[in-house]
Amino acid sequence: MIPVFYTDSQVHEPDSFSKSPFKPKLLVPLIDQEGGFKFMDPRMIGSISADRLKLVHDPRFVDDVFACKRPDGFGKSNQESVRAIRYTVGNFVLAAEWAAAVSGNPIVWSLTSGFHHACYFSAGTFCTFNALMLSAFELRKFHGTRTLIVDEDAHFGNGCTDIIKHLEMDHYCRYMQSIHTHSGSHMLNLVGYEKALRRLIKTFKPTLIMYQAGADNWCKDPLGGSMTKEELFERDLNTFRAAREANIPVVCNLAGGYAENFDDTLGIHMATGRAMKEVYS
């Protein structure tokens, strides 16, 4: 059974174009129906503290967001959203720790998103705090983990690269993004993507992979890319196969997805889950 991390405490509904804050709640019954997954006790998931966030963010920025003196990644300033965002970060951090150092499971699914645009000094589009970087920082500090972030959202994770540079984390945390449309980078085909991923695994030798399976790379997503649903599924399979063959644990989370019919976004995320089952079950 593949572990899944989710808590109702992470859900909020900002007046925003992004449905990411309440998307996980919509996925829960679909995952239950799918089978092959095990929801972890939500009481395990805690609210992340300001002190921990200050490991990878400017202390004044963190304090201002907590005090609602500065807007979050959705442009809001209220305690309800801050509380939910803190649980969202707590979810991913726990899931990453579980994958890297606790469970011995080859893959863990964190029903979270909203991280990779959060920079050291500021929030970014739909992203307030960077749980990817906090997890990489803490896992290195306490477990010696070498983290590879494989980000297949349609938009470049500027927050990750900013924090890696600011904190000089490049020697133990690498960022890879190959399939996207809005950063100006060349888009690799699936064969090129798989080769690039396997080459980086071989040279960097990570001990944990964080995989953001972006639904917004779908060709019909209004903010997205050029891939069909079948190609997105193949992308996920390629990622999981490369990680499993190298015996590297994976923590996978949600990313992107703004389809006019939101069932399309949910379906793409569920296809990622089915790819996990195909490779790991």
Render pLDDT for 204-250 as a digit per residue (tens, 0 to 9): 999 999 999 999 999 899 987 788 999 999 999 999 999 999 999 99
Reply yes or no on whether the pLDDT at 153 is more than 70: yes
DSSP state of 98: I
User: Kind and range of the H or E element at 199?
Assistant: helix 190-204
Q: State pLDDT tens for residues 115-147.
A: 999 999 999 999 999 999 999 999 999 999 999
The answer on pLDDT for 76 being more than 50 is yes
pLDDT for the residue 225: 77
By the 8 A CB rule, do 253 and 212 touch? yes
CB within 8 A of 56, min separation 6: which ones?
Answer: 120, 130, 133, 134, 137, 163, 167
| pTM for this prediction | 0.94
> How far lies 20's CA from each of 1, 13, 41, 105, 197, in Å?
25, 9, 22, 26, 27
Find out whether 241 and 276 touch, Cβ atoms under 8 Å. Answer: no
pLDDT reported for residue 20: 84
Arithmetic mean of pLDDT over the chain? 93
253: β partners = 110, 212
Q: Is the model's pLDDT at 179 over the cut of 70?
A: no
Ranking 40-44, 122-126, 158-162, 179-183 by mean pLDDT, the lowest is 179-183
